[in-house]
Amino acid sequence: MTVTDSPTGLDATTEADSGRFRSARGRFKIFKAPKIKRRRQIPDDYDTTPIVDSFDYSPLLEENDEADVREKLDGMIRAINPGISETLLFSQKGPQGMSLAHVWFGANMPLFRHSHPRFGDCLYYIITGEVRLGAQVLGAGDGVFIPNEMPYKYIAGPEGVELLEFRAGGGINCAPGMLLNEPSLDSMQQIIDVANTQHETWLATSPEEIAGR
């Protein structure tokens, strides 16, 4: 069998092996690059309730009314949305499934402190731009490994950042997909204030341009 004879477009040996080998994460699979998504400003009349509901914000309820937390979370989502583009490239189902996403953050984008207990360990690889992680400045070719359940945040550099996000599975079943770990409503307001000053820059910058597409 030749490549042109194969219904999958693979050579005969690879095609045979693709059906014979299987790991805990699944069988052989090819993925093709999707179009990189571009985020826009959320209209004032858009209902963010489903997005707010996707967060576990219980740590903030010890000192705040739930209505106040939800209102602040709504404001933060609206403020940062134009500065984030996330495109899922590859995903496997199951507790051990791997995933790969392309992520773009606009200039000086302040990512809120959070964790993903359901989705396992995370590995970031920076393609272009920079991120500031505490006192560390990470650039193209650098990366960071984040163990499952560890809260983290970072700030995109002055030219923004484009990166790949790998997840290896093995998270906690039925745990939150997004756990908000910001310490207070005031810290969330600081993110809102910074983000709102960047909207014009973010909306004028295309993830496709950053990625060279």
For 202: left if phi > 0, alpha if psi spans -120 to 50, otherwise beta; the answer is alpha
**Token pair for residue 151?**
């809260």
Distance of CA 66 to the CA centre of its chain: 25
Angle of the 66-80 helix axis to the 185-196 helix axis, nearest 10: 20
Share of the chain above pLDDT 90, in %: 63
Express each pLDDT in 144-192 by its tens digit. Answer: 999 999 999 999 999 999 999 999 888 888 888 899 999 999 999 999 9
Confidence (pLDDT) at 13: 75
Q: What is the CATH number of domain 31-210?
A: 2.60.120.10
- Angle, vertex CA 199, rays to CA 51 and CA 52, nearest 5: 10
Task: Tell which residue, 136, 81, 121, has the closest CA to residue 104.
Answer: 81
In which residue ranges of the chain is pLDDT below 50?
Answer: 1-4, 211-213
Per the CB < 8 A criterion, the answer to whether 89 and 101 are in contact is yes
Looking at the chain, which residues constitute the CATH 2.60.120.10 domain(s)? 31-210
